[in-house]
Amino acid sequence: MEIRQLLKSDIPACVEIFMESYNRLPWNYNWKFDDAVVYLTEYFDSKQFVGYVIVDNGAIAGAMFGHKKTWWTNNQLFIDELFVSHKRQGAGFGKKLIQHAEGFCKDNGVEMITLMTNKFMPALKFYDAIDFVKVDQFVFMFKQIE
């Protein structure tokens, strides 16, 4: 198992894993390949992109898409997407990606990692277990436009 910087040429393999992870229980999304390529490429093309893939037995097994951002108190790494192949979930791959991101932060003067997750999905337990703190004063909101 190795972790390396995510390359643009990795996006199709990442899309396959992304769709495998999110188009099934418990998420039940309905990502189409072309839409997911656009979605992940938008992150990759952003000015402050930070991304890694975890490779196992020569194949990408998971990825982290994020970006650096400046906040008035510190520099942050915001994790936009973190996903691991359904077949490899529970094997420590996600934790390894987070640890690698922590190393990036230490090496680059980034003082905080932030992310958003659904409190009703298993990912919340994952982030709780690796010492992320829930922030009750923030509310994620959206408005559907029809």
CB 29 within 8 A of CB 36: no
Q: What is the pLDDT along the chain (146 residues), one digit of tens a residue?
A: 999 999 999 999 999 999 999 999 999 999 999 999 999 999 999 999 999 999 999 999 999 999 999 999 999 999 999 999 999 999 999 999 999 999 999 999 999 999 999 888 889 999 999 999 988 888 778 777 88
Handedness of CA 67, 74, 84, 107 (dihedral sign): positive
Its CATH class, for the domain covering 2-129, is alpha beta
Tell the burial category of 106 from Cβ atoms under 10 Å away from its Cβ (0-12, 13-18, 19+). Answer: exposed
Rounded CA separation 51/104 (Å):
10
Calpha distance 57→136 (Å, rounded) = 40
